[in-house]
Amino acid sequence: MRVYHTETKEAFNALMEELEREDCKWQSGDEPTALKINWFKYCSDTIVRVKNRVIVYNSKSHISDEGLIEKYTKESKTKSKIPVVPQFVADWYEKHKSILEYKIWEYIYDWDDQDCESDFYDFMDDDNLKPIETLIKMRNGYEVEKEQLYYVKLIDQATGYLNVRRDGCKSLNNSVQNDIFKTKFTEAEIKAIDERYWQFAVPVEEVTE
């Protein structure tokens, strides 16, 4: 997931144009540039979130973890030409970059033998993501997409969040993460603890501490 702060209308418009080139859409299905008026709801506090090419927007006050936010300006357009990829794509690239073209060809040639349940298989199978072009462009630099983090809210109250101590001991308390207790988890981390917890996952930016 990517989270952008568009402080000016010009920055918001530039971001919409960039996201349209990436074939992103608003939740409503509209093209990004069709709803440039959205900026006026929150103006300089406008936050744009992009996940799986779906765009949503909100006020900056709704983001509890400011470390997720990247300030977007018109000048950011040059930077945004660098591919932004999930960690699993970056891992595959780093493993095979010394003979990249051959490894891409080999992966496609052995397509029927690949793990069709893997995230990388889905990436390579999605023409809209331009997987081969993206992998080649990564030679000139890339950024790893910030992975979505979640709280696990097991009880609907302020102290109903899953807390996991360093030794693995689990308890319920508030959502504040510190050096002792971990409260923010990736999807994989939650499912590794207990797959049943996934139904209680809440994106961290939707919770105000």
The pLDDT, as a whole number, for residue 79 is 54
What does the pLDDT look like over 58-87, one tens digit per residue?
A: 998 888 777 778 888 877 655 556 788 988
Considering the chain, what is the average pLDDT of its residues? 90
| Confidence tier at 191 by pLDDT (50, 70, 90) | very high
The pLDDT, as a whole number, for residue 158 is 93
The whole-angstrom distance between residue 9's C-alpha and the CA centroid of its chain comes to: 23
**Cα separations (Å) of 157 from 162, 165, 181, 195, 208?**
12, 20, 18, 22, 13
The pLDDT, as a whole number, for residue 170 is 95
What are the two backbone dihedrals, phi and then psi, of residue 163, each rounded to the nearest 5 degrees? -120, 130
What does the pLDDT look like over 115-171, one tens digit per residue?
A: 999 999 999 999 988 999 999 989 878 888 878 899 999 999 999 999 999 899 999
Question: Could you give the residue ranges of the DSSP H alpha helices within 113-162?
Answer: 119-125, 131-137
pLDDT above 70 covers a percentage of the chain that reads 96
The pTM (predicted TM-score) of the whole model is 0.48
CA dihedral sign of residues 18, 19, 22, 25: negative
**Rounded CA separation 164/16 (Å):** 39
Which residues partner with 3 through β-bridges?
49, 69
Of 96, 26, 14, the closest CA to residue 57 belongs to: 26
Of 37, 46, 48, the closest CA to residue 1 belongs to: 48
Domain segments of the chain: what residues? 2-80, 84-144, 150-206
The pLDDT, as a whole number, for residue 77 is 58
